[in-house]
Structure formats: C-alpha cells, structure tokens
Amino acid sequence: MSRHETSPTTVQPASHHRPNACCFCWCCCCSCSWYVPPPAPPPDGQGSRGQGGRQGRLRVAGPSATKPTPEEVRGWAQSFDKLMKSPAGRNVFREFLRTEYSEENMLFWLACEELKNECNTHTIDEKARMIYEDYISILSPKEVSLDSRVREVINRKMQEPSSHTFDDAQLQIYTLMHRDSYPRFLNSAIYKSLLQSVSRSSSES
C-alpha cells in the first residue's frame, strides 16, 4: 500500500470487497460497463506501476448509471466537489487512485458515507468496528494516513460508536485526495482519455 503524505448509487460495506467484481456495482457482470480506450503504454511496455494487465475499462455504479456527458466530465476539472458529488466521477477517480495504490482513501470515504446514512444502533456499532479494523488499525494493509490528533479522537469515540465517529478522519482523507491526488488525476491519461472519448461520442451522435 502506498500513501501520499504530500501524498459513494450503492456503497459497498467496508468488509466485503470483491476484487473480481465490477469495480463499483459489485455484481460480477459487465452489463453496467462503458468502455474508455486505454491510454498508450509507457516506453517499457509494462503498464502503469505494475498494472500492465489493466485495459482501461471504467465502470459506472448502479443499475441506472449512464455514461457521463462531456459537460459533466469537463465539470470535474472545475472543482473536486463536483467530481466527488458525481457517481461516475467518483468511479473514475477511484480507478485512478487504484493505479497509484491509494484506492483505500476512496474506499474509506465511501464507507464513512454509508455509515452516516445508517440509523440502526447495532448496525452502526458493527460497521464502525469494521471501518476501524479495515482503515484505521495500524495492522491493516489498507490503513489510511491520519494524524495523531484524529486518531486519538477516533479511539475515544470508538468506546460508543456513532454514525459520525469518523467525521474528522473522513474530512482529512477528503482533503488529502483533493490536495494531492486530484491535480494528478486531471493530468492523467485516464481522465484525458475519458474526456476525449465522451467528446468524440457526443460529436458523432
């Protein structure tokens, strides 16, 4: 796992990730997919950071998801908030984070969003502990990068978990993705290829 110190639509619970499923609908089918041409391979022909088998297929979440419009995709470059409020945008950004080995940041953010929408006390307690084990524990391979102050706050709140136990941590990871990963995403082959693809499709229709 790489963390970059200077470096959710249905949300999957934190403890049930299925690596072979479609990257956001978790349905093990490709009926929800739309295709983006893969970026050109690097000079060594090995693919991005060990991801040589990736073919540039980006998937949009949910049964009613549609391919984003050129205007929507261009809007993602206007602000990080627009990107994160778009289900398709989150999906593409997550694909980019995976190439940088920092997908855990998006997974944690999504798990926190799901927790905040939970009302059942028993379920909140259960999900909060799963989030802690998956993303906060120093023993987890998916541990996210948090400062000591936020960790202390979480440890106190975990004595009686609530739907907002991880609010401070979620904000810190959101800020990290905004400041660190987002600028690189806008300059990435994934984003540029998508923008080119949807623009071309729009002009042909």
Q: 25 near 59, Cβ under 8 Å?
A: yes
Return the pLDDT at 165. Answer: 97
Identity of the highest mean pLDDT range in 34-48, 58-72, 112-126: 112-126
Domain count for the chain: 1
Could you tell me which of 79, 96, 108, 98 has the C-alpha nearest to residue 8?
108
In the chain, pLDDT over 90 holds for what percent of residues? 63
> Model-level pTM?
0.69
Largest CA distance in the chain: 57
Position 25 pLDDT exceeds 50: no
Distance CA 113, CA 143 (A): 17
Task: With respect to residue 99, please indicate whether it lies within any of the assigned structural domains.
Answer: yes
Of the two residues 1 and 70, the one the predictor is more confident about is 70
Task: With respect to residue 134, please indicate whether it lies within any of the assigned structural domains.
Answer: yes
Task: With respect to residue 43, please indicate whether it lies within any of the assigned structural domains.
Answer: no
Task: With respect to residue 103, please indicate whether it lies within any of the assigned structural domains.
Answer: yes
Position 7 pLDDT exceeds 50: no
Task: With respect to residue 44, please indicate whether it lies within any of the assigned structural domains.
Answer: no
Position 141 pLDDT exceeds 60: yes
Distance of CA 15 to the CA centre of its chain: 15
Question: CATH code at 100?
Answer: 1.10.167.10
Average of per-residue pLDDT across 11-21: 41
Distance CA 78, CA 140 (A): 34
Which structural domain range is residue 146 located in? 70-204
Distance CA 190, CA 160 (A): 41
Read off the pLDDT band of 84 (50, 70, 90): very high
Average of per-residue pLDDT across 135-155: 96
DSSP states of 115-129: HHT---HHHHHHHHH
Task: With respect to residue 97, please indicate whether it lies within any of the assigned structural domains.
Answer: yes
Task: With respect to residue 4, please indicate whether it lies within any of the assigned structural domains.
Answer: no
Of the two residues 200 and 89, the one the predictor is more confident about is 89
Average of per-residue pLDDT across 4-11: 43
